[in-house]
Chains A and B, each alone.
Chain A
Amino acid sequence: MRNLQRGLLLAAAGLAFAAAAAGCADGDPRFEEAWSSLPPVALDQVAAYVERGTATVFLLDPADPKLRPHTVALAKDPALAVRRNGHDELLVLSRGEPGKPGVKSEPAELTLIPGAPGKHDQVRRYRLATSFTSLVQSSDGRFVIAFFGPGTKAGSGILFNPNEIAIVDLAASPQAVPVARTVRSFGGVPLNIVFSPELNLPEGKRTLAVVLSDNYVTLLDLDNPRRPEITVPLTLGTDNRMRRPVQVLFETRDKEPAAYVRAEGAQDIYVLRLSPATDRETTTNDFIPSLSQLTAGAQPLDMALIGEANDPRLLVLMATGDAWLFDALTSRATRISLAELGVTTAEPAPNRIYLFEAQGPGDPRSRPRALLLGQGNARRSVTFLELERLEEQRSKNLDLRPMGAPAQNVHFFPQQGIALVQHAQVPGGAGGAGFSVIDLARRTVAPIFASVSVERITLGTAPGGAAMKPGKVWIAPASGGGELDSHLGFLDLGSFSPGDVRLDARVGQILPLGSGSDGKRRVLVDHGLVAGHVTVIDADDPKRATARTVSGFMLNDLLQRGAR
């Protein structure tokens, strides 16, 4: 009997211990981190979603009947996801994990993920020594520079150097190590970085990066990233005025190419002509910039390079409302007065130049032309400018068209021969908002009224095949439009015929995709909710009846996904 009692006591003690041990909470990182996604990215056939809490990319292929995404693990704290220029690849910048009790540190990483279904796992990873916050890439997607974007308040450690950058050549071997370096500073930090096209430099064609900082710019030879940078001040040392570079254009002459820099606060255009370096003992760079200035006596608002590559002209819009044409080599300036067209002085100046090649009214030849618009100001007219023989013809090359309302935003689709101007207020519009569709060849300005404010306009992918069609633009209404929040608008660029599809949830991001594995083109509408919520629509025949949705697709296989 005593043995029995002892046994019972031991059993009870054992059970109590087991209960206490099992009752302790031991969490799983998969289920502890808050979920939040970066804005989705449209690749050719898939939409890429980056979930930050679990550091996972979800590649959703709408041609998959089950809509089950492929997942790729990222380094921790992904901060930025973009499509690689000129490639069907996703670029993700992850800041890594500095480490904390119980959590291992993890370096920052640049991850390159192929977008083609079946190739998603051919991931390339580039370790970064620093947790950068921003990413820029060359137009061909070969070079990527990671840096601390403007407004970065803190790095991952105690200190961070805002002038540190890392250069990655994605055309080099996958084992290539990013080149980390610090850009020389005169008290400023990088505001932006722009890339040149391939320039004819003395040692051959190469790409330069221009780092823009307040009062100076820095040139980097990306093919020789370990060569010293060249810093060009935009002001004299004794000049305290602020010159903030905001636009850079590159002239691609066969010899001595140049960069044109427009800066806020300056009435000049800065020309950096890249001449062969004569004294290679003092510099390892094969070129040296010489600085000159093009002066027009007013704040330049926008500029564009026109003409032949070896005989270019610089077209500049000034705050006075005039356009100036500069001969890049001789600095000879020609004034084209917009006032001569009868534009009243009360009308603000155009501040955007859009270049295109198209036929004109009564002119069957496709010629270089420009559309001049006032974006974000009260200008209510658009101006067409013939670019051929401009120095001789001057204002005779101008053609003015009235527009119903000021341009809030401009969406320029030169391939389709269309500019879509977004208006906040349209006289006579049902909801106040609307568009003007500008036919670049016919020079017509057709109003389209919108019942709600428009949040976003996205150009659809062009239908393939020999019979190129103009395609569609997709329009997301701004929230606050009531039931219309969940309507996806579209405008056929061929017929200018508008339409919309009623969906079951608010329209967020619009992701037009190319032809899928089944040959169909689709548009994914993201509804902006945790864990992914999209509606898939046939891009060629957008209808509610053929749409389908998937809610929470990031949760597929969640229970079996390995904890990290």
Chain B
Amino acid sequence: MKNSGWTAMRAAAFAVTLGAAITGSPGPARAAEGEAAVAAQAAPALPAVRFTVGADLVSFYGRSDPMKLFSAKGIKGTSGVSASYDLLHPTARTTIAVGAGWFGENTANTWGATNRAALDVDTFYASAVARYGVLPWLEPMVRLTAGGAWGRAKLGLGQANQPFFEGDSGGSTDWSLTSDRRAASFTASAGAGLRLRSNPFRPSNSKMPFLALSATIEGGYAVATAMSFTLATPRPSDDKVADDRIPGTAIALGSVDRSRPYFRVGLGLHF
């Protein structure tokens, strides 16, 4: 409860600060009109906040036919974290940032009337962002990412969705079949959007660095190489049972194509 209260307070403080930034109070942005004014009010007057850490909500739209095993609907929301560093300022209004991030995707579905399917994918990526400061608080941006995804498929079969072998229920063997190793895939994306950023501010404790808050919306398209799954019965948690088991042959479930459009909303803390 204490944590959630603190989180709510922080969220409220962020909203107030961001709102104040967007409406122009405090700070010199309200008076700025035109390129000369923006240039005059830019970097020299404000402390630099080059590092960003953020939390992202990413929605993917559409699914390939194979993905229908794992997902009943064509929209999937995921969450992740990211960090970036403003590397270059080629012009007064332009910023080039580099970063890295992660998001996790968990989908689950019921198929064949009584069976379960689940897909857990972790995506790690490096990113490059180019932003252009139309206004001090408003920056259109383009973002490119490249990275890798590692996925694990799980199937529960039959009326009871039970493991194949008696005595295997519970713990890590609660599924009939699971990926015997994580399936890998190369991913890349390209997107464009807007970043809304507050002016840097220093919290009451003057020893703290200058901070800023931002919100980002972005739409784009992510491509990924097909992710292939081989499944086997999970290894029993009891080593004696596992070692005694008759050797099993893994099955090749097939592959899923995870290329699709996305929409990302991010909240960032800059310092």
Docked complex: B233-251 residues within 8 A CB-CB of A: 233, 245-249, 251
Output the least CB separation between A16 and chain B (Å): 10
Contact flags (1/0) for B215-256 with A, using CB distance below 8 Å? 000010000000001011100000000000111110111111
- Interface contacts (Cβ under 8 Å), in number, total 138
Cβ–Cβ contact B255 & A560, under 8 A: yes
Cβ–Cβ contact A529 & B194, under 8 A: no
Docked complex: B46-86 residues within 8 A CB-CB of A: 59, 61-62, 65-66, 68-69, 72-75
Cβ–Cβ contact A35 & B115, under 8 A: yes
Interface of A is mostly: loop
B147 in contact (CB, < 8 A): no
Q: Which of A18, A28, A535, A559 has the most CB of B within 10 A?
A: A559
Cβ–Cβ contact A556 & B165, under 8 A: no
Output the least CB separation between B134 and chain A (Å): 8
Residues of A within 8 Å of B62, CB to CB, are 22
B158 in contact (CB, < 8 A): yes
Asked if A34 meets B75 with Cβ closer than 8 Å, knowing A15-B263, A505-B166, A556-B252, the reply is no
The CA of A175 and the CA of B255, in the complex, are separated in Å by 38
Closest to A561 in B: B254
Residues of A within 8 Å of B231, CB to CB, are 552, 555
- From A156-164, A340-348, A541-549, give the one contacting chain B: A541-549
The CA of A549 and the CA of B247, in the complex, are separated in Å by 6
B177 in contact (CB, < 8 A): yes
Asked if A555 meets B194 with Cβ closer than 8 Å, knowing A22-B75, A53-B112, A535-B246, the reply is no
Asked if A555 meets B248 with Cβ closer than 8 Å, knowing A25-B73, A27-B68, the reply is no
The CA of A505 and the CA of B113, in the complex, are separated in Å by 24
Docked complex: A513-544 residues within 8 A CB-CB of B: 527, 529-531, 533, 535, 544
Closest to A562 in B: B65
Cβ–Cβ contact B251 & A553, under 8 A: yes
Cβ–Cβ contact B158 & A22, under 8 A: no
Interface of B is mostly: strand
Chain A: interface residue total (CB-CB under 8 A):
52
Cβ–Cβ contact B246 & A547, under 8 A: yes
Interface residues on B, range: 35 or more
Cβ contact of A556, chosen from B75, B113, B251, cutoff 8 A? B251
Cβ–Cβ contact B74 & A551, under 8 A: no
Cβ–Cβ contact B157 & A529, under 8 A: yes
Residues of B within 8 Å of A555, CB to CB, are 155, 177, 231, 251, 253
Cβ–Cβ contact A560 & B66, under 8 A: yes
Cβ contact of A529, chosen from B112, B155, B164, B246, cutoff 8 A? B164
A67 in contact (CB, < 8 A): yes
The CA of A68 and the CA of B254, in the complex, are separated in Å by 12
Cβ–Cβ contact A35 & B251, under 8 A: no
Docked complex: A13-41 residues within 8 A CB-CB of B: 15, 18-19, 21-28, 30-35
Residues of A within 8 Å of B114, CB to CB, are 34, 530
A-B contact pairs, 14 of them (CB 8 A): A19-B61, A26-B68, A31-B109, A31-B112, A32-B111, A66-B252, A486-B166, A535-B246, A548-B248, A549-B249, A552-B157, A559-B229, A560-B66, A561-B254
Give me 11 other A-B pairs in contact (C-beta within 8 A), A31-B109, A549-B246 excluded.
A18-B263, A27-B68, A33-B112, A531-B115, A551-B248, A555-B231, A555-B251, A556-B252, A557-B254, A558-B253, A560-B66
Q: Which residues of A contact B (CB under 8 A)?
A: 4, 8, 11, 15, 18-19, 21-28, 30-35, 53, 65-68, 486, 503-506, 527, 529-531, 533, 535, 544, 547-553, 555-561, 563
Q: Which residues of B contact A (CB under 8 A)?
A: 59, 61-62, 65-66, 68-69, 72-75, 109, 111-115, 117, 134, 138, 155, 157-158, 164-166, 176-177, 194, 219, 229, 231-233, 245-249, 251-256, 261, 263
